[in-house]
Amino acid sequence: MSKPIGEISTAALAYLGDSVLELLVRKTLVSAGVSSAKNLNAASLLFVKAEAQAIAMQNILPHLSDEENAAYRRGRNIGHTNTPRSATVGQYRMATGMEALFGYLHLLGREERIEELFALAYSDVIKSIEI
């Protein structure tokens, strides 16, 4: 990486983290046997909507290290100008913080930790997926 991680914008970390989470969601759904495009798209909403990400973030907050918590707070605190109608400002801020955290961990190469946090975050959702 050419730029130190502390110099990467929070928006860029969240942008990357969104992709990291999207890949984890897709891998989870395909591994669970969900196969039709309609079902894949419907099930993915259980993971990617701001409201779902805020709930997931609440699930993992107690498990974060100080460093991870700082990355989350950094993302949560960026200025938001466009909040989706389906989420509150608080939910959207938590979701952005989660994305920044996952982007941060990915840039550090902490893929095992990413998998662990994802499983903790979405354990109830993963259990509810119907094949």
What does the buried/exposed string (b/e) look like for 79-98 if buried means 16 or more CB atoms within 10 Å of the residue's CB?
eeeeeeeebeeebbbbbbbb
Ranges of each domain in the chain: 20-128
Q: Is 18 one of the annotated active-site residues of the chain? A: yes
Residue tagged active-site, from 10, 16, 17, 18: 18
pLDDT given at position 90: 84
Assign a CATH topology to domain 20-128. Ribonuclease iii, N-terminal Endonuclease Domain; Chain A (1.10.1520)
| Residues of the chain where predicted confidence (pLDDT) is lower than 50 | none
pLDDT given at position 1: 60
Question: Quick one: tokens of 20?
Answer: 């990291």
